[in-house]
Amino acid sequence: MNIDYAAFVSHLTAVADGAVHTDIPLAPYTSYKIGGPTAVWVAPQSEEAVGRVLEIIHAAEVPLFVLGRGSNVLISDRGWHGVTLYLGENLSGWKFQNLDADVLAGTRLIDVTRRAVENGLAGLELLAGIPGGVGGALRMNAGAFGREIESVTAAVSGFRRNGSRFQADRDRINFGYRRAPDLADVIITAARLRFEKSDAAVLKARMEDILAMRAKKQPLKFPSCGSVFKRPAGYYAGALIEDAGLKGDRIGGAMVSRKHAGFILNVANAAAADVYALIRLIEKKVFERFGVRLEREVKLIGEFE
DSSP secondary structure, 240-274, as one string: HHHHTT-TT-EETTEEE-SS-TT-EEE-SS--HHH
Q: Give CA–CA dist 233/177, Å, rounded.
A: 11
In the residue annotation, 296 being an active-site residue is answered as no
**Per-residue confidence (pLDDT) for residue 59, from 0 to 100:** 95
Q: Give CA–CA dist 163/47, Å, rounded.
A: 11
What pairs with residue 96 in β-bridges?
Answer: 101
**Per-residue confidence (pLDDT) for residue 108, from 0 to 100:** 97
Among candidate residues 37, 164, 17, the one with its CA nearest the CA of residue 90 = 17
CA 5 to the chain's CA centroid: 29
Query: What are the structural domains of the chain?
Result: 5-90 (3.30.43.10), 92-216 (3.30.465.10), 219-301 (3.90.78.10)
**Per-residue confidence (pLDDT) for residue 3, from 0 to 100:** 75
**Per-residue confidence (pLDDT) for residue 77, from 0 to 100:** 98
- Choosing from 227, 231, 257, 283, which is the catalytic residue? 227
SS percent in the chain: helix, strand, coil, step 5: 35, 30, 40
Among candidate residues 237, 228, 234, the one with its CA nearest the CA of residue 287 = 237
Q: How many CB atoms lie within 10 A of CB 141?
A: 21
Q: Give CA–CA dist 39/128, Å, rounded.
A: 34
In the residue annotation, 297 being an active-site residue is answered as yes
The phi, psi pair for 226, rounded to 5°, reads: 80, -145
Among candidate residues 109, 144, 141, the one with its CA nearest the CA of residue 126 = 144
Q: Write down the H helix ranges in the chain.
A: 5-15, 47-60, 109-118, 134-139, 200-217, 237-243, 272-290
- The answer to whether 294 and 240 have CB atoms below 8 angstroms apart is yes
CA 65 to the chain's CA centroid: 12
Which regions of the chain are under pLDDT 50? none
Q: Give CA–CA dist 150/155, Å, rounded.
A: 10
3 state DSSP class of 125 = helix
- Choosing from 178, 179, 192, 214, which is the catalytic residue? 178
- The answer to whether 129 and 210 have CB atoms below 8 angstroms apart is yes
Q: Give CA–CA dist 119/203, Å, rounded.
A: 10
Give the DSSP letter string of 188-228.
Answer: EEEEEEE-EE--HHHHHHHHHHHHHHHHHHS--SS---S-S
**Per-residue confidence (pLDDT) for residue 5, from 0 to 100:** 80
- Choosing from 55, 89, 150, 297, which is the catalytic residue? 297
CA 79 to the chain's CA centroid: 17
Cβ neighbors of 257 (< 8 A, separation 6 or more) are: 219, 224, 247, 263, 264, 265
**Per-residue confidence (pLDDT) for residue 1, from 0 to 100:** 58
pTM score: 0.94
The phi, psi pair for 53, rounded to 5°, reads: -60, -45
In the residue annotation, 48 being an active-site residue is answered as no
